[in-house]
Structure 1
């Protein structure tokens, strides 16, 4: 297994900014948000910018694509009354749309990892997970290695289902509100076989807002990086693509770059989760200290937006 490593991931939740612009424009009385809605601007589409940024840094990352069903088709009456659900509904996308197909295939062709972002109601649904995996693989033309559940939602059998449908790893264990190595410094083997869980160390939205408190946000990142280096840890980070839009989320792009630069300067292996798995874990026998299959996933997961 490699020593100190930083794994880069992006959950593709909302690549389109549609009626969110109207919602935030009215809620915050923001001319900017209203402008993006009225002019049909799409500041959440950041694929090219992320790839260019990472290419310049000499790294690649994992992109997890969501295949979320329509709220009108799957949500109950209670779900329809919640504004957050409608924001997600209007931001949903179809991975078979020509524009998304081109992005997915281009990322894959250029060496970025494409994985599955299991839909919100799929964590306890074997058939749904299997269908979502198959749909993404149809776009790619080959099998995928793993992914992360939407909202990091885990059920008592999610990992079992992931393994049974042919995924080799999952990266859902963690929180949107806290950061750190709560689940240890190394990937987890929940079934004492090759299936691997990569706990999330840091999600960008758990940090102090770098647009207002950049030094505080960087101090958290640096503290985690130092801890990872001192313990030869595998550190997994999540930056949603929309956070690379500097107008709405100032400071996050700079923070991401500085995190990668620090890791590289300090000898870390930096790259996609799937690449790390294939290079260091695929043929490795499970260690004796593993978490059993009865591990209670629900006690260690937190929903996120």
Structure 2
């Protein structure tokens, strides 16, 4: 039997879920907390999905004075990390009747120009990842709610922040390599003026230098494979003992380190251990597979969207950093005995 072309109504959803139309309105309008149970709310959402129900958002938004649209600003789309953040944010947004517009800022982590004639009129709020709050002045205006991801809580100008526990991740990397017996380290740092890279560098340096007999050299490179090759070449030819472990701020930097080490006839991990950050697809394409810090991009985006929904609803977002996990693979091993 062919499905009716008649558009399902809120009454149809109410009948399918076994609830009142008022309950359907509360759930689909995201006003159900404290009024209906979580079980009932999920039953209504499932009925709406099964029926293909779509509320008349234009009419509802006119009544509420909302566009039901938020902007996700990211520095770039050069890896799959930021698309993952978008996927997580969009998933939560869709559950609450919101849409998410992804905006890779053409200025990177610098000032983000307004992509609309007036963002404050076109959007309900902004989620910004890995950027400084003052870089978003043109987008935020004076009134637009803002949630900062992977950003300095002290420099957010009062905006809510959601962060990965990147400092703990840096300590996990240091502890892993120290436990293997490494004492001579090269930190290949991202040449990006970003709070998150400063935090991981500080945590890494504190952990390593707390262990007697260690040396740590830092060299910076832009986030490209070829720049990482050049920076590693320079570090390997510098006077003094060669590092036995290279700690990279990013998996792409680690790929450049692989190329440079092999040009110098060095094996991974027999001669030099290498670590990265992000656990993108590239990490398992390298040979040997890369030991790296896994950052759950989708979970990150989910938390960011939930924080913005809380702000829009006048609630305080959940606190606490999102845990990260070191994934140990074949690129790390004990250093060779001299």
TM norm. shorter chain > 0.5: no
Which TM bucket (shorter chain)? 0.3 to 0.5
Question: Which has the higher Rg, Structure 1 or Structure 2?
Answer: 2
Q: Between the two structures, name the one with larger relative contact order (CA 8 Å, sep ≥ 6).
A: 1
More strand by share: 2
